[in-house]
Amino acid sequence: MVAKPLLKKLAKEHGTPLFVVDHEQLRRNLAEFKRWLPRVQPYYAVKANSLPEIVRTLYRAGASFDVASLPEFLCVHENIKDLPAKERQDFIWDKIIYANPIKAIATLKTLDQYKPLVTYDNYEEIRKVKKYAPHAGMVLRLKVPNTGAMVELSSKFGAAPGEAVNLIEASEKAGLTVEGLSFHVGSQTTNFQNYVQALNLAADILKEARARGYRQMKQLDIGGGFPAPYDANVQPLRELAKILNSEIKRLFPKDVQILAEPGRFLVATACTSVAQVIGKADRDGRRCYYINDGVYHTYSGIIFDHCKYPVKAFKKGPTQICAVFGPTCDALDTISLTEELPDLDLGDLVYSENIGAYSHASSTYFNGFPPAQVVHINQA
Ligand SMILES: *Cc1c(COP(=O)(O)O)cnc(C)c1O
């Protein structure tokens, strides 16, 4: 948590809306992930927050990366390339997985020179990869239950379990080696049984594939979904790790490498936004505040991520239930209708914590308002 005096100082120095990235917290989150899941190599899911400074800090702290578009791939590749040779590893699969099962032909054509590791979940994709990126390694994405996740992903991607081994066979027959399996249990998964079911399913498929002679499969990618501690009801990573570690040990031979694609868990708690009250009105008996950041900008997670970010004031005093709106002319630009805030004046600052994931990354320029300015603190 960034100290309040520092937030105020930064806002004074840089103006608002401001998006503060605490790199010490990024390193702490990665260290926690590695501490509780020592057998699992984290591939940071860049889409959660694609600021290159974040990529660099996590890379230096030992992370690998999950990318899902050509710009994300090139961002990671560039930021790794810039580092001194001794800090760099040249074998790209150790550092980058391209985890979007659907890839445009132009993307495949560019990716091929890097001999990438890519996910797939259907026959058309095998034909496409074979033709346009024949040097790629393949990872089969499985459809697994996403029950109770804050953001559901299983309706869009994933091979049905009954089709999985046939898809492995088809890829191998096309001359594309299948290196392993992946899944995603849904983002902000607080129902840990999703992971248990997915691991058991993956273990069955791996066994069957090996029995059919596909013994080269050595990667298990357990995806993202690791919940950020937005509130006290979210169980700590430690508890999920206990379950994961024992299931992984029980189900997978030692020669299977386990990787994960945490996005939210690594960045959510590392960023704080600061905005300013630019308007104030009483409507239908309710105090309404208008601030200079909203759902088209840093608070975009309210729409796209089904997330809530409490808006807090620096000012003390008796509170009342207020509405908080963003600066644009659209009524959708509503941050909250039930925020407990003290009496605020125009120019007063407010802030939201734990706003690092799926927030700034999906800011727009709607209505001519640009995304919040970014400042980095505790960068090594
Ligand atoms: C979005 C995504 C992630 C990151 O998920 P989190 O829930 O933020 O950890 C990881 N892998 C894939 C394939 C994704 O689409």
End position of a domain, from candidates 252, 268, 284: 268
Residue written as token pair 């308007």? 279
Question: Which atom of ligand 1 is nearest the CA belonging to 188?
Answer: 7
Confidence of residue 154 (pLDDT cuts 50, 70, 90): confident
Domain that holds residue 97: 23-268
Q: Are residues 30 and 11 in the same domain?
A: no
| C-beta 223 within 6 A of ligand 1 | yes
Encode pLDDT of 252-289 as tens digits: 999 999 999 999 999 999 999 999 999 999 999 999 99
| Catalytic one of 75, 307, 322, 329 | 329
Count of structural domains, the chain: 2
Residue written as token pair 């990366």? 65
Question: Which atom of ligand 1 is nearest the CA belonging to 141?
Answer: 13
pLDDT at 351: 98
More confident residue, 151 or 271: 271
For range 347-370, the mean pLDDT: 97
- Domain of residue 273, CATH code: 2.40.37.10
377: β partners = 22
pLDDT for residue 322 is more than 70: yes
| C-beta 149 within 6 A of ligand 1 | no
pLDDT for residue 53 is more than 90: yes
pLDDT at 149: 85
Q: Are residues 184 and 82 in the same domain?
A: yes
End position of a domain, from candidates 216, 234, 268: 268
159: β partners = 142
223 CA from centroid of ligand 1 (Å): 6
30 CA from centroid of ligand 1 (Å): 15
Q: Are residues 294 and 365 in the same domain?
A: yes
243 CA from centroid of ligand 1 (Å): 20
Query: Cα–Cα distance between 114 and 279 in angstroms, integer?
Result: 51
| C-beta 178 within 6 A of ligand 1 | no
Q: Are residues 167 and 52 in the same domain?
A: yes
Q: At residue 105, what is the residue type?
A: I
Residue-averaged pLDDT of the chain? 95
Q: Are residues 113 and 44 in the same domain?
A: yes
141: nearest Cα among 108, 188, 172, 179: 179
Encode pLDDT of 128-141 as tens digits: 999 999 999 999 99
Confidence of residue 380 (pLDDT cuts 50, 70, 90): confident
Query: Cα–Cα distance between 326 and 285 in angstroms, integer?
Result: 20
18: nearest Cα among 291, 378, 335: 291
Q: Are residues 13 and 67 in the same domain?
A: no
**ω into 17 cis (within 30 of 0):** yes
List the residue whose alpha carbon is closest to atom 10 of ligand 1.
Answer: 224
Q: Are residues 304 and 226 in the same domain?
A: no
Residue 60 CB-density burial (10 A; 0-12 exposed, 13-18 middle, 19+ buried)? middle
List the residue whose alpha carbon is closest to atom 3 of ligand 1.
Answer: 224
Q: Are residues 101 and 66 in the same domain?
A: yes
End position of a domain, from candidates 222, 253, 268: 268
pTM of the predicted model as reported, rounded to 2 decimal places: 0.96
How would you write the chain as a 3-class SS string? CCCHHHHHHHHHHHCCCEEEEEHHHHHHHHHHHHHHCCCEEEEEEHHHCCCHHHHHHHHHCCCEEEECCHHHHHHHHHHHHCCCHHHCCCCHHHHEEECCCCCCHHHHHHHHHHCCEEEECCHHHHHHHHHHCCCCEEEEEECCCCCCCCECCCCCCCECHHHHHHHHHHHHHCCCCEEEEECCCCECCCCCHHHHHHHHHHHHHHHHHHHCCCCCCCEEECCCCCCCCCCCCCCCHHHHHHHHHHHHHHHCCCCCEEEECCCHHHHHHHEEEEEEEEEEEEECCEEEEEECCCCCCHHHHHHHCCCCCCCEECCCCCEEEEEEECCCCCCCCEEEEEEEEECCCCCCEEEECCCCCCCHHHCCCHHHCCCCEEEEECCC
Q: Are residues 199 and 320 in the same domain?
A: no
Q: Are residues 223 and 314 in the same domain?
A: no
pLDDT at 120: 98
- Domain of residue 212, CATH code: 3.20.20.10
Identify whether 322 is a catalytic site residue. Answer: no
107 CA from centroid of ligand 1 (Å): 20
Q: Which of 156, 187, 240, 355 to mutate to test the pocket of ligand 1 (most atoms within 8 A of CB)?
A: 187
Q: Are residues 199 and 97 in the same domain?
A: yes
| C-beta 187 within 6 A of ligand 1 | yes
Q: Are residues 240 and 107 in the same domain?
A: yes
